[in-house]
Amino acid sequence: MSEKWTVSEPQKITFGEPVHRVKVRTMAGAVNVVAGEGPARLEVSEVDGLPLEVALVDGELEISYEDLHWKDFQWKALGRWIEGLRQKRRAVVSLVVPAEVDVEIGSASSDAIVSGIAGRVHANSASGGLTLVRVSGQVDANTVSGAVEAHETSGGLKINTVSGALTVFAGTSGALKANSVSGAMTVDLDRPAAADVELTNISGEVAVRIPAPADAQVRADTTSGSISSSFDQLQVSGMWGAKRITGTLGAGTSRVKITTVSGSVAVLRRPDEDDAPQADTPQDATPLAIDFQKGADEA
């Protein structure tokens, strides 16, 4: 079965056919994909410039411009994304879909939010940010300068950025593998740590907070950046040039590996919940903030 729409003004569409896969390609604006009950629904609340083309074919829903394809949003084709910004295109797209759908998002500068999805999520962006909320499927995200935030995800994260920051909030579990050139990485691990974490950076600052009591093998290396640890069980070695943190916390059933060239590294201890001070708002409601100039002990 095949259905098609051309959207040149704000419009709402409810799809009669089940949706199993979603593909969204936009230039500027916003993309929101949320898991929900009932038939899949689309709301385009803003559309400027060229109209959006919407097609639902055999359960695959695609929202894009006529001249944009997924290959235009691949990691090696970033220059062509930015060239496309010369033509004014802006759209605000919101989707409610079944939780088990697979989601692909490609954008130049659209900010994207994906919430409650249990299928695979693949996102490519030049400068648009990506926020993941309670996503239990595997995530593969690539950005140039867009920031990535993960809240209570559990399916595993694979993140690549050039200068975009990565923030992983407490409550997130699953394997994490992230690479960046200069984007800061702030990772607040859940307890118990159930999967491996591997962070690689060139000049960006990296801060990882591990819950106590902890259960991880830890290794952090930097060629010329500063390094610090809040755990007595971890050994800090190297005074000049290359520095390293190594050691095992608890049974060491998971692995935390950090590698930078000139970026600062801080491995911090998050107190046990019973020891943490009581507050009206949850401690994990805000991201971990580290002042690398003052050192990890003050953080």
Condensed to tens digits (0 to 9), the pLDDT of residues 125-181 reads 999 999 999 999 999 999 999 999 999 999 999 999 999 999 999 888 889 999 999
The 10s digit of each residue's pLDDT in 29-44 is 999 999 999 999 999 9
The 10s digit of each residue's pLDDT in 37-90 is 999 999 999 999 999 999 999 999 999 998 776 555 555 455 555 555 545 789
Name the pTM for this structure.
0.86
**Which residue in 196, 232, 215, 218 sits closest to 265, CA to CA?**
218
The 10s digit of each residue's pLDDT in 88-99 is 789 999 999 999
Give residue 285's pLDDT. 35
16: pLDDT strictly greater than 70: yes
Give residue 87's pLDDT. 59
| Tokens 């930015």 found at | 82
Phi, psi torsion values for 79, nearest 5 degrees: -60, -35
Give residue 32's pLDDT. 98
Give residue 281's pLDDT. 35
End-to-end CA distance of the chain: 57
250: pLDDT strictly greater than 80: yes
Average pLDDT, the chain: 86
SS3 per residue for the chain: CEEEEEECCCEEEECCCCCCEEEEEECEEEEEEEECCCCCEEEEEEEEECCEEEEEECCEEEEECCCCCHHHHCHHHHHHHHHHCCCCEEEEEEEEECCCCEEEEEECCCEEEEECCCCCEEEEECCCCEEEECCCCCEEEEECCCCEEEECCCCCEEEEECCCCEEECCCCCCCEEEEECCCCEEEECCCCCCCCEEEEECCCCEEEEEECCCCEEEEEEECCCCEEECCCCCEEECCCCCEEEEEEECCCCEEEEEEECCCCEEEEEECCCCCCCCCCCCHHHCCCCCCCCCCCCCC
Per the rule left: phi > 0, alpha: psi between -120 and 50, beta: everything else, 127 is alpha
103: pLDDT strictly greater than 90: yes
